[in-house]
Amino acid sequence: MLTIGLTGGIASGKSTVAAMFRDLHIPVIDADEIAHRVTSLGGEAYRPIIETFGRDILDSNGAIDRRKLGAIVFYDEQKRKQLNVIVHPLVRKHMLQQKEKYAKEGEKVVVLDIPLLFESKLEHLVDRILVVYVDEQTQLRRLRERNGFSVEEAWARIKAQMPLEEKRKKADEIIDNNGTIEETKQQLHACLMRWGVLEK
């Protein structure tokens, strides 16, 4: 089974490209989705997070308020590391379990959508690395539009990650997502043909 690592920066277009893989019936394992599941009420990371960050980060239903937790961890590297130490091993465990399941089912290709692939040094989990790239101004604009963030809130998140310029140097293939969705799709399909995943 060929394992493709899909990565990029926050709001660079990973989910958009992940949807294109799913349209091709190629399964995608989504690290963000797993992180959301394990941090939800009753999830494996729920209690350890409250023990570390206190009950102020909870909403009125007792669930972790991601906006509140984000307001802490994206402005404080130490706190971010503390959260990562709790959540990342669990995300990794579930990703590997899902990958195993797809291998048993006989899938030929699987995609691991991991925003922090390089930051967490997870390159060894994948055979090929695809980086979804946008320039910083486009990234900032799309992130602000999607999440309703101020410039400051958006920058804090962008700065919490390895610069996309550095990530693109480490890629096997780069998809430039500054243009239209259709242009991005064409680049993805061309890449998958080069890799022998799609027929020419």
Ligand X SMILES: Nc1ncnc2c1ncn2[C@@H]1O[C@H](COP(=O)(O)OP(=O)(O)OP(=O)(O)O)[C@@H](O)[C@H]1O
Ligand Y SMILES: CC(C)(COP(=O)(O)OP(=O)(O)OC[C@H]1O[C@@H](n2cnc3c(N)ncnc32)[C@H](O)[C@@H]1O)[C@@H](O)C(=O)NCCC(=O)NCCS
Annotated binding site: 11-16
One residue of 17, 91, 111, 188 binding ligand Y per CB under 6 A: 91
Q: What is the DSSP code string of 123-185?
A: GGG-SEEEEEE--HHHHHHHHHHHHT--HHHHHHHHHTS--HHHHHHT-SEEEE-SS-HHHHH
Give the CA angle between residues 59, 60, 66 to the nearest 5°. 15
Q: Which is nearer to ligand Y, 10 or 20 (CB)?
A: 10
Out of ligand X, ligand Y, none, what residue 91 binds, judged by CB under 5 to 8 A for its kind, is ligand Y
One residue of 16, 49, 69, 122 binding ligand X per CB under 6 A: 16
Is 70 among the residues that bind ligand X (CB under 6 A)?
Answer: no
Question: Of the ranges 20-28, 129-137, 154-162, 174-182, which one interacts with ligand Y (CB under 6 A)?
Answer: 154-162
- Name the token pair of 200: 């020419």
Q: Counting runs of H as helices and runs of E as strands, what totals does the chain give? A: 9, 5
- Name the token pair of 174: 């780069």
Question: Of the ranges 33-41, 95-103, 118-126, 175-183, which one interacts with ligand X (CB under 6 A)?
Answer: 175-183
Please choose, from the candidates 187, 90, 83, 89, the residue with its C-alpha nearest in 3D space to the C-alpha of residue 132.
Answer: 187
Are 8 and 33 in contact by the 8 Å Cβ rule? The answer is no
Is 35 among the residues that bind ligand Y (CB under 6 A)?
Answer: yes
List contacts with ligand X (CB under 6 A). 8, 10-16, 32, 115, 142, 146, 177, 180-181, 184
List contacts with ligand Y (CB under 6 A). 10, 31-32, 35, 39, 66, 69-70, 73, 80, 83-84, 87, 91, 115-116, 157, 160-161
